[in-house]
Amino acid sequence: MSADENYTGLSYTKLNIMRYLALFITSFIFWLLLTWSVEPGSVVVGLAVAGITTFFFGKYYFKNVAKFIQLHRYYWFIIYLFIFIWECIKANFDVAYRVLHPKMPIKPGIVRVPLTLKSPFARAMLANSITMTPGTIAVDIVKDNIYVHWIYISSEDPVEYTAKVSGRFEDYIKKIFD
């Protein structure tokens, strides 16, 4: 952890406790959604399971949980969700066209796209978004580059394909997770 990551002004001990607490609340809400009942027995079991989860996996949770209470991130997240769903539906019709066309218009290859995002979770979300959008699937992240398998390479110019592959999402993900 570098020093500039801790921009909230809290000490590391406090941040660490908040991290465990955030994982506890998240997993307990997940349990409540799954069981969908507030009977005492079910709630007690849920608290126990959330405690065990927190004990074992707390150290793998987000480094900076103060992002949870910054409300403008949720606003951008909702906008991003609609764009993402629209791109998903487009991706499916794109795949359907390529699969059902008798000649199969494919021109696959792996291209290297530079990343500007820094935090690991934001990078993972960008890779997930790239996988669900038309014609691309993320293969690997090495240092500051993401390798993308593309089913129809429409241009050989790096700047142009960077804009096509990650330009749609990078701004939003920067605002939400980074």
CA distances from 65 to 16, 22, 31, 48, 174 (A): 9, 7, 20, 22, 16
Among 14, 59, 112, 118, binds other proteins (CB under 8 A): 112
163 part of the interface to other proteins, by CB under 8 A: no
Q: In this chain, which stretch among 52-60, 72-80, 107-115, 168-176 interacts with other proteins, using CB under 8 A?
A: 107-115
Write down the residue that tokens 């996988």 correspond to: 131
- At 176, which helix (H) or strand (E)? helix 167-177
CB 14, min distance to other proteins, A: 29
CB 33, min distance to other proteins, A: 5
Among 63, 73, 149, 168, binds other proteins (CB under 8 A): 149
* b/e map 106-121, b = 16+ CB within 10 Å: eeeeebebebebebeb
* Cα 118 to Cα 126: distance, rounded to the nearest angstrom: 11
Site for other proteins in 34-53 (CB under 8 A): 34-37
CA distances from 135 to 123, 144, 145 (A): 19, 22, 19
Among 52, 110, 120, 159, binds other proteins (CB under 8 A): 110
* Cα 14 to Cα 19: distance, rounded to the nearest angstrom: 9
Among 147, 160, 167, 171, binds other proteins (CB under 8 A): 147
Among 137, 168, 174, 178, binds other proteins (CB under 8 A): 137
First vs last Cα of the chain: how many Å apart? 15
Q: In this chain, which stretch among 4-12, 14-22, 26-34, 53-61 interacts with other proteins, using CB under 8 A?
A: 26-34
Q: Which residues bind other proteins (CB under 8 A)?
A: 30, 33-37, 88-89, 91-92, 95-96, 98-100, 104, 106-112, 127-128, 131-132, 135, 137-140, 142, 147, 149, 151, 153, 156
